Amino acid sequence: MAIRIALVGMGKIARDQHLPAIAADPDFELVATVSPHHAGVDGIPHLPDLETLLTEGPALDAVALCTPPQVRHALAMTAIGHGVHLFLEKPPGATLGEVVALETAADAAGVTLFASWHSRFAAGVAPARDWLARREIRSVRITWREDVRVWHPGQAWIWEAGGFGVFDPGINALSIATAILPRRLLLTEALLEFPANREAPIAAILGLRDTAGTPVAMDLDWRQTGPQSWDIEVDTDAGRLTLSEGGAVLALPDGSTRQPDGEYPAMYAHFASLVRDRASDVDVDPLRLVADAFLRGRRKIVEAFDA
């Protein structure tokens, strides 16, 4: 029997990624959409809010929350209270405390909680992790530069407190790094650049190291035009490993491979498996590193930015 799922939040990511992945997966049936601001899908019930969905809408087994992180915790707690399985878009919450509370509540209610990190499901990530497990890692360089006007047009929430700013894409890089590197990462320093008219950073330079002291440098910027940069370079005793295009392309010393995009289909397959097993998958390491950057980072005010 297919898992009856509703999408909550019908912005760009829901339409570009979630809807096609659900439609292509026989383990799921889209039974409703929810948004007070955006239209739904032809032929599918559309509700104005989650409470109305849960009390007056069609029967369902799961919801995928694609809302801004600032409102995610209250919605997730409502769903858990109704015994509904949860798929959380990244980042899973606005704070570490919220995510820990959700994990505890989901466990007590016996429902699945999947805090998704879509970049971990990029084609090159798993083989990169396997290759690095057999190497001595000497240094890591992460460059994640993109044009916010292209990827987040008109999204005011992302510039507000709790909206993450440049760490919204930057956390994707951290989700890959924490998946492929064998030891835990620790933040040592950070410089965060805040536009004079914004409450979230537009750029950041991070210095990290792993627990063995291996240096990891990270460069984030939302002002890049032209070609976009989503690259991780790992220097090892056997040469350099490079993940580019957000993890889709893996280059090893003896050649490179590229696989088609399959992040969201792979995530929904994983979510279906978790629901069947009544298991959860919640990893806060990428969010922890972002929180540490805000805790320890120096703040620099730069020129105002208007999208």
Residues acting as catalytic residues: 90
Q: Is 196 exposed, middle or buried (0-12, 13-18, 19+ CB in 10 A)?
A: exposed
Q: Would you call 143 helix, strand, or coil by DSSP? A: strand
Q: What is the side-by-side strand order in the sheet with 46-47?
A: 46-47, 28-34, 3-8, 62-65, 85-88, 113-115
C-alpha–C-alpha distance, residues 199 and 140, integer Å: 29
Distances in whole angstroms, Cα of residue 227 to Cα of each of 145, 146, 203: 9, 8, 17
Tell me whether strands 298-302 and 255-258 are parallel, antiparallel or unpaired: unpaired
Q: Which amino acid is at 151?
A: W
What is the dihedral angle through the alpha carbons of 58, 64, 68, 74, rounded to the nearest 10 degrees?
70
Given CA atoms 192, 103, 92, 142 in this order, what sign does their dihedral have? positive
User: Beta partners for 191?
Assistant: 205, 298
The C-alpha angle with vertex 168 and arms to 179 and 34, in degrees rounded to 5, equals 105
Closest CA to 229 of 129, 117, 287, 151: 151
**DSSP secondary structure of 2-57:** PEEEEEE--SHHIIIIIHHHHHH-TTEEEEEEE-SSS---TTS-EESSHHHHHHHS
Peptide bond into 182 cis (omega under 30): no
